[in-house]
Structure 1
Amino acid sequence: MNRRLARIRAVQALYQIEMTGIEWKLALQSSMDDEEEADDYLYDVIPGVLAVQPKIDEQIAGQLEHWALERVGNVDRAVLRLAVYEMQHREDIPVNVALNEAINTAKAFGGDEAGKFVNGVLSNLRKARGLGAKSEYDSEDH
């Protein structure tokens, strides 16, 4: 399984956990096609996000202007949580890669507006925390 597909499966599992309260391994299993096999990345990021989710949520909420985290769509919230985890806890993933992949994942699930929203939140968080280099999406055009 390539990393892009693994991110999609992670977002699907995180979404399902939030919506149903299902145990993470069951959520992962139900998000995957029968012929797919989970890799180490998935076994790290899903429980990793859950372990630090309150801290991640606090950081995301700090970047929302005139919004409460609860108003953010469930899929966008899952995308943001995964991206923040990657940006701060996965040294093997450059910050700009985590940010760009989150934008593309958000677009895949919610269209261009979702991508713009995720870009804004994560770019602000990256700047506020002094993380990584600029993203290819750091412009008014995206």
Structure 2
Amino acid sequence: MGARTKARNRALNMIFQADVLRQPLSEVLATEGMRAVHEPERRASWLYAEQIVQGVLAHQEEIDEKITSSANGWTLDRMPHVDRAILRVAAWEILFNEEVPTPVAIDEAVDLAKELSTEDSGKFVNGVLGRIALLAEL
């Protein structure tokens, strides 16, 4: 597993934790940052995970609006927590990180959804992110 894939997993875990436990994402990020100081072998994945979470924090309103408008009748509250976290990570990459090609962001998100969520989540995540990507190109 590459450093960016590990970083996406770490970011996903932080966003998921904040959502499920109703903790401020900034606090979860700070706690994980302190832990990362003591894990030099995981530094490469930490740096990108931190970048993702900070990006989601900075743009959460816009990211959530894009997800909601692309989810065809699904509200954020109706989505499984893990799907919502996956979508936030990937939407940030698509909308705000020019270093990651859109197909890579979508593929990674779909793989995570298939591995971590419901039977239909891979298709759902793929559809939502595909619409976000199309809107981003306009």
Question: Is TM > 0.5 for Structure 1 vs Structure 2?
Answer: yes
Matches for 1:108-123 after TM superposition, within 5 Å: 108-123=115-130
2:31 to 16, 22, 26: 26
| CA deviation vs aligned residue, 1:73-113 (integer Å, no higher than 9, x gap) | 11100100000100111111101101111111111111541
Matches for 1:4-15 after TM superposition, within 5 Å: 4-15=5-16
- Structure 2 SS opposite 1:62: helix
Q: CA deviation at 1:43?
A: 2.0
Q: CA deviation at 1:35?
A: 7.8
The amino acid that maps onto 1:84 is A
Q: Does 1:107 align with 2:114?
A: yes
Which one has the bigger helix percentage?
Answer: 2
Match of 2:95 in 1: 88
Q: CA deviation at 1:25?
A: 2.4
The amino acid that maps onto 2:4 is R
Q: RMSD of the alignment, in Å?
A: 2.2
Q: Relative to 1, partners in 2 of residues 1:48 and 1:106: Cα closer, same or farther, differing over 3 Å? A: same
Matched residue pairs, number?
A: 129
1:61 to 65, 68, 86: 68
Q: Relative to 1, partners in 2 of residues 1:19 and 1:27: Cα closer, same or farther, differing over 3 Å? A: farther
Q: d(CA) in 1 for partners of 2:122 and 2:33? A: 24
Q: CA deviation at 1:50?
A: 1.1
Q: Tell me if structure 2 keeps the 8 A contact 1:13–1:28.
A: no
The amino acid that maps onto 1:105 is L
Q: Tell me if structure 2 keeps the 8 A contact 1:9–1:28.
A: no
Q: Which runs of 5+ in 2 are unaligned?
A: none
- Structure 1 SS opposite 2:120: helix
Q: Relative to 1, partners in 2 of residues 1:38 and 1:111: Cα closer, same or farther, differing over 3 Å? A: farther
Q: Tell me if structure 2 keeps the 8 A contact 1:49–1:82.
A: yes
Q: Does 1:70 align with 2:77?
A: yes
Q: Which runs of 5+ in 1 are unaligned?
A: 132-142
- Structure 2 SS opposite 1:37: helix
Identity of aligned residues (%): 36
